[in-house]
Amino acid sequence: MEEATSPTEAKSLLDGRYELGRLLGHGTFAKVYLARNLRTGHNVAMKVVAKEKVLRVGMAEQVKREISAMKMVTHPNIVELHEVMATRSKIYFAMELVRGGELFSRIARHGRLREDPARRYFRQLLSAVAFCHARGVYHRDLKPENLLLDDRGNLKVADFGLSAFAGPDLLRTACGTPAYVAPEVIARKGYDGGKADLWSCGVVLYVLLAGFLPFQDDNVLAMYRKTHRGDFRCPPWFSADARRLVTRLLDPNPATRITVAEILDTPWFKKPSTDPPPPPPPAAAEKDSAEEPERLNAFHLISLSRGFDLSPLFEQGGGAGGGMRFATTEPASGVISRLEGLAGRGGGGGSGLRVTKSSAAGVRLEGGEGGKGRLAVAAEIFAVAPSVLVVDVRRDGGDSLEYRSFCSNELRPALKDIVWAAAADAPATTAAA
């Protein structure tokens, strides 16, 4: 078995931050190790991807998409990506360590679930999927093998390697696991990623309640024909409400398939659970610094920029969203103070904004209800060098026109004097430091 990386390379990369431990598992392109964060003492799962293998099979874009997707979807029921590091030969994903194993393993060991625990897992799955969809991320490979359980029995969605982002056009790539793939994906005529994910959620729910798949056949083509016809039967132990929900999820017509909002209103989903709630999580540890910005590395930069062109990080224009992304030598505390001052200033639109912390070095500005919902602006601060920060401002809710007006008329003028005007003259290595 090949080493995760050479000792010299690992020491240089991890730089006293992580200590690699035993191998937890491996796949075609990656191995996962137990690792310990030496600064916090917390254990993480370190996924190590071999660059050469990824490039050889043309999967570089897929890896970048996985990183970008996971950075966008921080949620209690999604495995968290803490940071990404890279050497010349390896890519390291420091991820949340989920100790309870796969939901698939539980079903394989114990068989089908009663409706109460199945409902609890399904609620958590739907919460994670709806969160992803709201941020324009489609998973496209939802199945029990990609649903992990933590040590408190909570579900965590993992493996965003086949994920896609929302756009103006239908998706075309046929991907996923055959038994869980929606019929419109197989048809290769274009599909809505959100509706396809809900079909997969329906297959997962069926498996939880039945202990076996709804569409089964030794011949894959025959199984696909059953999928296209919606040819399945619910076992007699399904309750009437469960049968109705599964049937609406496994509707082969995506136009009439049940939506997230409709699922939330179904009797089966709303039924009170008799399962005892999981124990509360332990109190979060105090951070060394309340306003220490996250250290930005090369693969965070990729997720923030268009391809490998890092120049947009130092542009004041915000693209289609009308926001801002700029470099500054101002400390994080100074940037946050400016934003708090803007929100509290009288006379302008900023006066109606409420400021809350969104991360160790990030804030969220939220206003009152507008014509298209509550305007919310998120600002995150990242370090790209000891004395250089990148501030990424984006719309997090509300009307896009109102957001662009706020950025142009209030945000940019308020921050103009701290934008690093000399960015164009800086050495090219600064951005990737």
What is the β-pairing status of strands 388-397 and 354-359?
A: unpaired
| Cα of 278 vs its chain's centroid, Å | 23
Closest alpha carbon to 78 in 143, 125, 119: 125
For residue 152, give the amino acid letter.
Answer: R
Rounded CA-CA distance 202/182 in Å is 10
Q: Active-site residue among 15, 116, 141, 150?
A: 141
Any known ligand binding at 357?
A: no
Matching residue, tokens 């297959």: 203
Helices (H) and strands (E) in the chain, counts: 15, 15
- Angstrom CA distances, 395 to 52, 321, 366, 377, 400, stand at 37, 7, 10, 5, 7
Q: Are 373 and 399 in contact (CB under 8 A)?
A: yes
**DSSP structural state of residue 347:** S
CA dihedral sign of residues 221, 225, 227, 232: negative
Taking phi first (over 0 means left), then psi (-120 to 50 degrees means alpha), and beta for anything else, what does residue 129 get? alpha
150 catalytic per annotation? no
- Cβ-based neighbours of 21, under 8 Å, separated by 6 or more: 33, 34, 35, 36
- Residue 395, H or E segment: strand 388-397
Q: Tokens at residue 4, please?
A: 């995760």
**Residues 99/152, Cβ–Cβ less than 8 Å:** no
Grouping H, G, I as helix, E, B as strand and the rest as coil, residue 188 is coil
Q: Are 52 and 30 in contact (CB under 8 A)?
A: no
Structure tokens at 13: 């990369």
- Give residues with Cβ within 8 angstroms of 31, minimum separation 6: 4, 23, 25, 47, 48
Give the end-to-end CA distance of the chain in Å, rounded to a whole number: 32
For residue 292, give the 3-state DSSP assignment: coil
Distance (Å) of CA 376 to CA 87, 136, 138:
37, 17, 23
Query: Known binding site: residues?
Result: 51
Active site members:
141
Query: Known binding site for ATP: residues?
Result: 51
